[in-house]
């Protein structure tokens, strides 16, 4: 709030003396001459005193106003100081590194985050000593030249660099009473590594999906051209090529199905599932569907299930999970071996929540080397791409499983020994029925 300056007005004082002096002088004169009676004295007194009283009152009002304004100013100064401390505290506690530089790019102030990123002895030194980066140098130069807000992105830190978005605000504070330098720079560094990682994953995903679709499509186009050209009259080649084209187009169709499925699951990721499911029945029906596939490799699926309560989940999505896991056990298991599906569940009454059920699927086969285990659930990740493709795999099955289990707040672990057993353990919370909609 701006303060009005209140001062005693010299002109007003002169006016007062000017008004009072003639009657006072005249009264004194008459009194000395003994020519004034009591009534005249009273009249003279009123005439003389009235302007004096009014003027005194006027000065009293001015003094009161001055006093009030001074008190307000003291209050204001205290509030400004308090706000400054508050601002400093906020800046200090921000998780993003923040620096204030002078016009020569020397660091005047740095918050805690900036200190932990760049070091403790950074004050009064030039920023370029701590961030040696040509992108930042150019951006600073541009900010100085134009006075505009400048943003730039660069990597910082070793051995695991982080990606930072930096904003450079230039302030011209030449008129301010608090500074002796004319320009200040407010520099904020925002860690956008996670965003960059997501961006990269999306780009990789699009590239992988395109590649997966392009391969069967190229093969179909190739066979069509062969059938139209050199193999035009070759009946045997016709049958063989049409059968390959059928397989390739089925592969494309499965891939598109999986891609759509993945995008649907991602879309509904934050909607809690609400079906009441008898998991034992669900697994049994999945095994019934996959039994012929297992028999074709002379494999048997043994399912041991305990009696249990229903769980809360999404029926179709959990069917998809067990279809993929049991189908993987068949596809990547050795012929003439058995697959075990075991099922443990607590016998708690239905209304008691948050106890897990655990399903374990075990198969015998070549197994998975330890270095592949952490990456199995990535999209399009396969241990042996050629084998997976030849078995009709899209490489998306476990990525879909991962998303569904995440939605169900469950957990999944792989344990595998080379040329021995592979064990997938899946636990899901039993959950309770959601409250009825009001």
Ligand X SMILES: Nc1ncnc2c1ncn2[C@@H]1O[C@H](COP(=O)(O)OP(=O)(O)O)[C@@H](O)[C@H]1O
What residue 188 binds from ligand X, Mg ion, none (CB within 5 to 8 A, per partner kind)? Answer: none
What residue 384 binds from ligand X, Mg ion, none (CB within 5 to 8 A, per partner kind)? Answer: ligand X
Closer of 179 and 323 to ligand X (Cβ): 323
The alpha carbon of residue 172 and the mean position of all alpha carbons in its chain are separated, in whole angstroms, by 33
> What minimum distance in Å lies between the beta carbon of 282 and Mg ion?
18
The alpha carbon of residue 161 and the mean position of all alpha carbons in its chain are separated, in whole angstroms, by 19
How far apart are the C-alpha atoms of 97 and 112, rounded to whole Å? Answer: 7
**328 is a site residue for Mg ion (CB under 5 A):** yes
Closest CA to 331 of 307, 299, 353: 299
**313 is a site residue for Mg ion (CB under 5 A):** no
Position of minimal CB gap to Mg ion: 397
Q: Which two tokens stand for residue 277?
A: 């499911």
What residue 388 binds from ligand X, Mg ion, none (CB within 5 to 8 A, per partner kind)? Answer: ligand X
DSSP per position, 148-188: --EEEEEEE-SSS-EEEEEEEEEEE-TT-TT-SSSEEEEEE
- Residues 349-408 binding Mg ion (CB under 5 A) are 397
- Pattern of binders to ligand X over 310-349, x per CB under 6 A? --------------x---xx--x-----------------
Query: Could you tell me whether strands 338-344 and 300-305 are parallel, antiparallel, or unpaired per DSSP bridges?
Result: parallel
Closer of 122 and 265 to ligand X (Cβ): 265
Task: State whether residue 291 is helix, strand or coil.
Answer: helix
> What minimum distance in Å lies between the beta carbon of 369 and Mg ion?
18
**216 is a site residue for ligand X (CB under 6 A):** no
Closer of 111 and 394 to ligand X (Cβ): 394
> What minimum distance in Å lies between the beta carbon of 387 and Mg ion?
12
Closer of 323 and 346 to Mg ion (Cβ): 323
> What minimum distance in Å lies between the beta carbon of 259 and Mg ion?
14
Closer of 174 and 386 to ligand X (Cβ): 386
Closer of 131 and 290 to ligand X (Cβ): 290
> What minimum distance in Å lies between the beta carbon of 352 and ligand X?
33
> What minimum distance in Å lies between the beta carbon of 393 and Mg ion?
5
**426 is a site residue for ligand X (CB under 6 A):** no
Sign of CA dihedral 52, 55, 59, 64: positive
> What minimum distance in Å lies between the beta carbon of 279 and ligand X?
20
Please write down the long-range contacts of 266-271, taking CB distance under 8 Å and 24 or more positions apart: 266/403, 268/407, 269/403, 269/406, 269/407, 271/407
How far apart are the C-alpha atoms of 48 and 45, rounded to whole Å? Answer: 5
Q: Which two tokens stand for residue 296?
A: 């074709």
Please report the beta strands in 92-135, taking only residues with DSSP state E, as ranges in sequence order. 98-101, 107-110
Is the distance from CB of 434 to CB of 272 less than 8 angstroms? yes
List helix spans (H) across 178-278: 193-228, 235-267
Q: Which of 216, 313, 365, 410 contacts ligand X by CB under 6 A?
A: 365
Helix pair 279-296, 315-332: axis angle to 10 deg = 30
- Pattern of binders to ligand X over 372-411, x per CB under 6 A? ----x-----xxx---x----xxxxxx-------------
How many residues touch ligand X (CB under 6 A)?
Answer: 19
Which range, of 260-268, 288-296, 318-326, 413-421, touches Mg ion by CB under 5 A? 318-326
Cis amide bond preceding 334, omega within 30:
no
Task: State whether residue 122 is helix, strand or coil.
Answer: coil
Map 315-334 to HEC letters: HHHHHHHHHHHHHHHHHHCC
**368 is a site residue for ligand X (CB under 6 A):** yes
Q: Which residues bind ligand X (CB under 6 A)?
A: 324, 328-329, 332, 363, 365, 368, 376, 382-384, 388, 393-398, 422
């Amino acid at each position: 709030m701006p303060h009005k300056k209140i001062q005693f007005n010299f002109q007003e004082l002169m006016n007062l003396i000017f008004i009072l002096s003639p009657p006072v002088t005249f009264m004194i004169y008459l009194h000395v001459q003994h020519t004034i009676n009591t009534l005249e004295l009273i009249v003279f007194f009123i005439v003389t005193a009235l302007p004096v009283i009014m003027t005194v009152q006027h000065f009293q009002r001015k003094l009161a106003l001055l006093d009030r304004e001074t008190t307000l100013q003291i209050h204001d100064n205290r509030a400004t100081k308090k706000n400054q401390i508050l601002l400093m505290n906020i800046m200090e506690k921000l998780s993003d590194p923040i620096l204030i530089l002078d016009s020569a790019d020397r660091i005047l102030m740095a918050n805690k985050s900036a200190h932990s990123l760049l070091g403790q002895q950074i004050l009064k030194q030039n920023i370029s000593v701590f961030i040696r980066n040509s992108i930042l140098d150019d951006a600073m130069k541009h900010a100085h030249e134009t006075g505009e807000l400048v943003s730039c992105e660069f990597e910082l830190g070793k051995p695991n660099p982080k990606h930072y978005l930096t904003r450079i605000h230039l302030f011209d504070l030449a008129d301010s009473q608090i500074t002796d330098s004319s320009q200040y720079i407010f520099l904020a560094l925002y860690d956008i590594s996670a965003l960059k990682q997501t961006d990269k994953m999306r780009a990789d995903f699009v590239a992988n999906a395109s590649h997966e679709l392009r391969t069967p499509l190229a093969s179909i186009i190739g066979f069509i051209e062969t059938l139209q050209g050199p193999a035009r009259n070759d009946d045997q080649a016709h049958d063989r090529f049409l059968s390959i084209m059928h397989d390739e187009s089925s592969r494309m169709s499965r891939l598109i199905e999986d891609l759509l499925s993945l995008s649907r699951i991602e879309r509904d990721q934050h909607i809690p599932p609400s079906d009441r499911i008898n998991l034992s029945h669900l697994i049994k029906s999945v095994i019934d569907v996959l039994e012929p596939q297992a028999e074709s490799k002379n494999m048997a699926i043994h399912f041991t299930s305990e009696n249990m309560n229903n769980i809360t989940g999404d029926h179709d999505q959990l069917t998809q999970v067990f279809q993929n896991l049991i189908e993987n056990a068949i596809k990547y298991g050795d012929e003439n071996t058995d697959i075990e599906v075991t099922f443990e569940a607590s016998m708690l009454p239905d209304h008691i929540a948050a106890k897990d059920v655990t399903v374990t699927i075990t198969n015998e086969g070549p197994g998975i080397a330890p270095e592949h285990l952490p990456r199995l659930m990535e999209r399009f990740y396969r241990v042996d791409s050629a084998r997976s493709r030849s078995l009709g795999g899209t490489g998306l099955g476990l990525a879909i499983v991962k998303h569904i289990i995440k939605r169900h707040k469950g957990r999944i672990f792989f344990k595998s020994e080379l040329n021995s057993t592979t064990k997938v353990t899946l636990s899901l919370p039993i959950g309770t029925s959601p409250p009825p909609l009001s």
